[in-house]
Amino acid sequence: MVARNNVQISGPLDAPVLVFAHGFGCDQTMYSRLLPYFESRFRIVLFDHVGSGGSSLAHYDAVKYATIDRYVDDLIELCAALEFSDVTLIAHSFSAMLAIAAAVKSPELFRGLVLLAPTPSYIDDADTGYEGGFTREDIDGLLESLDDNHLAWAAMMAPVVMKNPMEPQLTDELEQSFCRVDPRVMRTFARVAFLTDVRPLLPRVEVPALILQCTNDSLAPLHVGDYMKAHMPDSTVDVLDAEGHVPHVSAPAETSHAILQFLAER
């Protein structure tokens, strides 16, 4: 598991364990700006989803990884292999969905969840009145554009996701992250990320959860956080001043302060 997911561990041996799970199109290096706020007091565990970053591409199978289930099992297997329990899972974007599913499947592993820019589903549901922010046609168009031209899609989406136009280096960093992912992985991963719906699992999450939202987030609007809080029994919402969808990159100090406060309360 350690080699498969390029697991990196640091920090004091006897400290509380924080596991960081990255979002779609990214890898563990996206947390580099956040780590200095935690590494002296916590056991830090970083990993890459199979197909991303420094993970083993030999383990990637487009059929197995066509749903969120394999990613959930990878996380649970990783914690078991490292003999970790009582973990706080810090999960960004797609990985927030994974965190919710993992906490329902193996609640004994987790002390708490920190969900960065989360959504339980990107797609609107007229039958229930849920507003994810996108129609199915929107998502289909996004996926088609990715299939047509991976690099053009990365250049188009990076500024939308990152925001913060006054810091163009952040957008460049995200675009390069998108471009580094193998196109065949990117296409399958995108369908998992944008088509998964974990709304039915929200009431079954037993562990405390912090929902960290961002101002002006094109992918996870603020009303989604309200929906999640209303359906997750032990959850709180904190809206950051940070703009965009990647606060651990664009606003690491503000993001870390909110996470540390949540950890102190637990």
- What total number of domains does the chain contain? 1
Secondary structure tally for the chain: helices H, strands E? 9, 7
Active-site residue, from 27, 245, 248, 250: 245
Residues of the chain with pLDDT > 90: what percent? 92
| Within a domain: 128 | no
Residue 110 lies in a domain: yes
Residue 155 lies in a domain: no
Catalytic residue among 22, 74, 217, 250: 217
Per-residue pLDDT reduced to its tens digit, 28-64: 999 999 999 999 999 999 999 999 999 988 899 999 9
Is 245 noted as a catalytic residue in this protein?
A: yes
Give catalytic status of residue 95 as yes or no.
no
pLDDT-based confidence at residue 167 (cuts at 50, 70, 90):
very high
- 82 lies in which domain range? 8-121+197-265
pTM assigned to the model: 0.96
217 a catalytic residue? yes
Of the residues 93, 121, 177, 250, only one is catalytic, namely: 93
Mean pLDDT of all residues in 214-240: 96
- Check if the beta carbon of residue 126 is closer than 8 Å to that of residue 56: no
DSSP 110-126: EEEEEEES--S-SB-BT
Among 100, 58, 69, 76, CA closest to 185: 58
* CATH (domain of 257): 3.40.50.1820
